[in-house]
Structure 1
Amino acid sequence: MKTKQLRNRIITYFVSIVVLLSVLFSLITLLFSYIIEDSFFYQILEDERKQIALQIVNNETPKAHFDFVTFHPTTETLPTVVKTLLAEEPNRKEFSAEAGKHYHIAFLNKDDRGQGILLAEVSGHLVVRELRGLMLGFSLTLLAIGLIIALLLALGTVKLAKRLLKPLDELMVIVEASPVENLPTNFASQFSQNEIGKFAQTLESALARIRAFVERERQFTRDISHELRTPVTISQGAVSLLNHTELNSKQQELVARIAESDQQMQLTLEALLALAREKADTPEQTNLQSVIEACIINNQALFEHKVLSIDLPGNVFVPMAAQELRLVVQNLLQNAVHHSQGEQIHIRYRDNTLTIADNGRGLPQTFTANEQAFESGMRGPNSLGTGIGLSLVKRLCEKFSVEVMIESGETGVSVHLKFA
């Protein structure tokens, strides 16, 4: 989130609160005025009720003190509109009529509402209605004052937000202007010892650790690229020379095992180097058929006693770098050859999904779930490898957002690569 957006949000909160309070106070003021006015009329009627009740007890003619209050022995003498509405709503206390007339009602006996009724025609005494325009003006004035206060608060908030967030802006500039290859150092000391300064110290410490991690990864990659590749290349050269000498059957078997181990080691090193490389922003589009053909040609000896079934469109490109795709396909093909007792290997591509399947006996029973096959170090009972091949396959696929799925049954194992 940009700090500019944070400032705007802070300002919006302050202004909204002030405006909301102004509107709420205006509404409460208006409502309070109506309640006070109604309470005043009800109090007058209650005093008149007591006075008239006393007059009736003393056999005097009932007469109200205020000229706008009248006594009605029964409902028959009430105005028509009041009588009609009272018949529909017996508990009603206020009535509005034509010509702006407004009535309040009270009963001498609350249990007998048919007689002894006090009616106050208060339309000439409605102060709030008379002052409605003035009160509306007062409310608008109050709202205008609230808006002015809100604007002043907004200006003050802008300055305060700029002052408070300026160190955060500076910290963002430092981080954004630094490439991954050259992460910033020793920048936390320029910030005050407050929350942002503490955050800068934590960030500086985290970047230092990241820088150390990156350097260790680079050093490790250089070591793999040189220190480990060199002995593998020497071993492969020695095996090649041995293959051109006269060897008995036992020696040939041993040399073949060495050659296979060298090839597996080379494949693992290439996979680790591929994982260490940074992924490009735009994935490379690779011709799938050409990669699979190259893997089959480079491993012809593996398929000497296997029957390959290939169902691939001629011009399919997938979003994965060529070298990484070759490593994945080659590893899956080698697994299909080495870990399957079947004679057939099927390769097909449908609906953006590459499937490599064999017709063997499926995954060993030691795997309680198919996903365990992709865990590092998991091996079958007859495997001579390290158990990291499929783990590397999964990690290479995840690097390019390729979904990996494995199915196992009595008809063999199928590995599916679903490309985005």
Structure 2
Amino acid sequence: MKFYKSLRFRLLGSIFLFGVLLISLNASITFFVMGKTFSRLVNTLMETEVTSFLYQYENDRTAPLPHSRFVKMYKHIEQIPQRFQERVKSLPPGVHSIPPSKNHPPLHIAVIELPDQSQPYYMLFHGHEFFEENAFLRPFQILLISLGLLLAPAMLLGLFFYKMLLDPVTELIEKIKRLNPEKIPDQFAGKQCSNEVGMLTQTLENAMSRIKEFILREKQFTRDASHELRTPLTVIKGAVEIMEDQKETRENPLLKKPLTRIAHSVAGMETTINTFLWLAREDVDPPGTCHVAPVVEKAIADHRHLIDQKNIMVDLEICTDKVLSVKEEILYITISNLLRNAFNFTRRGTVFIKVANPYIEVRDTGMGIPKEKIACLTQPHIKSEQSKGFGLGLSIVSRLCIRYGWELCIESPAGQGTRVKILWQN
């Protein structure tokens, strides 16, 4: 599983984002309050300076104007720095705080009207110089340091909660990975707390208990079915072989033909039973290899009786003798189901069979399949109206293809026959 999709990433990421947002919000509120407080302090300072100047001016008209490093007095608006002139020329008398704009810093200015002067005086507080000289750190630097100092303990606390919350889940996952589905204990996870993890563990134990019952029931059914189904088939097969060896049977074609059909049906039933019993097991696939061409030829010979009474030709093209890493019986089951469908649903014409390196193709000239039914052909018990079987053939083929990683392709234009292709896994 990719890390960014895990609970670990989501939990740590949530803690990190929450910390960043919380610190940013706190810094924003702090800077806002500090700005308001500083503005009020400057206004108070300016009011004090204005009061002091008016008092001195009233007693001595020749007193020097206030002039310090950060507070300066201007007699005319033309004396004010040009970048401030447009912002102050329309201000009424009093102390003003002008907020910063896109290209200008905040401005604190007092407009003073004197009774014997035609133009007001302007007292300007140079806040930018004040901050440049007295600020220990810039606001952005303060924000970065705050993020570092506060995020570090927040992440440590997050790691603590992360381990506390996810360690039980991780431990439970490891225990489940080590379980053998055929030997599931009644309490595989041990004693858990009465929290959400404990509830999850109990739910998994209940589900595993049901799975254990299903596995035992399936094993019992497989064992019983193997015995109960194979025994009568063995009896029938033996009886047919005995009857075929009788002199009367060899001399009477009317008896030989139905016995041959019975023998073919028994062989087909044995193949079907073996297929279902094998598909029902979750064991490791039986080892083995086989050549495709001989298996195809054998399947054609075993199913030729289906077209003996039909005007059907079989066109076999073998381009290569492909070798597959699969037992011969499994490949035979797959090809037999394809041939059986092609032979049964073709009244006249030709059944084309092509064995190539990457695939095998079975194509007939039968009635075809309606377009709306192609998508569900591989589902069990889905069959055409003309079929006399149980609709399991293509379902078996599909399950075998999935098991071995083969690709099953079905094309069937209505009225133009059907083409089924199996692409082998490279």
TM-score normalized by the length of structure 1? 0.72
Q: CA deviation at 1:182?
A: 0.8
Tell me, yes or no, if structure 1 residue 121 matches structure 2 residue 124. Answer: yes
Equivalent in the alignment of 1:58: none
Equivalent in the alignment of 2:363: 357
SS of 2:412's equivalent in the other structure is strand
Equivalent in the alignment of 1:243: 244
* Amino acid in structure 1 at the alignment position of 2:364: D
SS of 1:406's equivalent in the other structure is strand
| Corresponding residue to 1:295 among 299, 311, 314 | 299
* Amino acid in structure 2 at the alignment position of 1:362: G
Write out per-residue CA displacement over residues 387-415 of structure 1, whole angstroms, 9 at most, x where no aligned residue: 22222222222222333232223331111
SS of 1:412's equivalent in the other structure is coil
Equivalent in the alignment of 2:331: 325
Judged with a 3 Å threshold, the aligned counterparts in structure 2 of structure 1 residues 118 and 38 are, in CA distance, closer, same or farther, namely farther
Tell me, yes or no, if structure 1 residue 378 matches structure 2 residue 382. Answer: yes
Q: CA deviation at 1:176?
A: 2.9
| Corresponding residue to 1:417 among 411, 417, 422 | 422
Contact 1:191/1:200 (CA < 8 Å) preserved in 2?
Answer: yes
Contact 1:15/1:153 (CA < 8 Å) preserved in 2?
Answer: no
Number of matched residues? 391
Q: CA deviation at 1:288?
A: 2.8
Which structure 2 residues correspond to residues 278-293 of structure 1 after superposition, within 5 A? 278=282, 280=284, 286-293=290-297
* Amino acid in structure 2 at the alignment position of 1:123: H
Tell me, yes or no, if structure 1 residue 336 matches structure 2 residue 357. Answer: no
Which structure 2 residues correspond to residues 38-117 of structure 1 after superposition, within 5 A? 38=39, 68=71, 70=73, 76=78, 78-82=80-84
Q: Which has the higher contact order (CA 8 A, sep 6+)?
A: 1
Q: Structure 1 stretch 33-42 or stretch 194-203: which is displaced more?
A: 33-42
* Amino acid in structure 2 at the alignment position of 1:336: A
Contact 1:283/1:400 (CA < 8 Å) preserved in 2?
Answer: no
Counterpart CA distance in 2 for 1:359 and 1:297 is: 20
Counterpart CA distance in 1 for 2:120 and 2:354 is: 97
Q: CA deviation at 1:180?
A: 2.2
Q: CA deviation at 1:357?
A: 0.8
Judged with a 3 Å threshold, the aligned counterparts in structure 2 of structure 1 residues 35 and 380 are, in CA distance, closer, same or farther, namely same
Judged with a 3 Å threshold, the aligned counterparts in structure 2 of structure 1 residues 104 and 161 are, in CA distance, closer, same or farther, namely closer
Counterpart CA distance in 2 for 1:23 and 1:218 is: 63
Q: Structure 1 stretch 203-212 or stretch 257-266: which is displaced more?
A: 257-266
Tell me, yes or no, if structure 1 residue 313 matches structure 2 residue 315. Answer: no
Judged with a 3 Å threshold, the aligned counterparts in structure 2 of structure 1 residues 369 and 280 are, in CA distance, closer, same or farther, namely same
Q: CA deviation at 1:107?
A: 8.3
Q: CA deviation at 1:34?
A: 4.0
Q: CA deviation at 1:253?
A: 4.6
Judged with a 3 Å threshold, the aligned counterparts in structure 2 of structure 1 residues 282 and 269 are, in CA distance, closer, same or farther, namely closer
* Amino acid in structure 2 at the alignment position of 1:79: P
SS of 1:153's equivalent in the other structure is helix
Contact 1:188/1:197 (CA < 8 Å) preserved in 2?
Answer: no
Tell me, yes or no, if structure 1 residue 255 matches structure 2 residue 259. Answer: yes
Write out per-residue CA displacement over residues 304-335 of structure 1, whole angstroms, 9 at most, x where no aligned residue: 56433233332434565543222110111122
* Amino acid in structure 1 at the alignment position of 2:390: T
| Corresponding residue to 1:397 among 392, 397, 401 | 401
Contact 2:322/2:357 (CA < 8 Å) preserved in 1?
Answer: no
Judged with a 3 Å threshold, the aligned counterparts in structure 2 of structure 1 residues 124 and 236 are, in CA distance, closer, same or farther, namely closer
Q: CA deviation at 1:222?
A: 1.8
Judged with a 3 Å threshold, the aligned counterparts in structure 2 of structure 1 residues 146 and 208 are, in CA distance, closer, same or farther, namely same
The alignment's C-alpha RMSD in Å is 4.7
Q: CA deviation at 1:211?
A: 1.0
SS of 2:375's equivalent in the other structure is helix
Q: Structure 1 stretch 302-311 or stretch 322-331: which is displaced more?
A: 302-311
Judged with a 3 Å threshold, the aligned counterparts in structure 2 of structure 1 residues 351 and 252 are, in CA distance, closer, same or farther, namely closer
Counterpart CA distance in 2 for 1:270 and 1:259 is: 17
Contact 1:352/1:418 (CA < 8 Å) preserved in 2?
Answer: yes
Counterpart CA distance in 2 for 1:376 and 1:147 is: 59
* Amino acid in structure 1 at the alignment position of 2:243: L
Judged with a 3 Å threshold, the aligned counterparts in structure 2 of structure 1 residues 40 and 309 are, in CA distance, closer, same or farther, namely farther
Q: CA deviation at 1:213?
A: 1.3
Contact 1:371/1:406 (CA < 8 Å) preserved in 2?
Answer: no
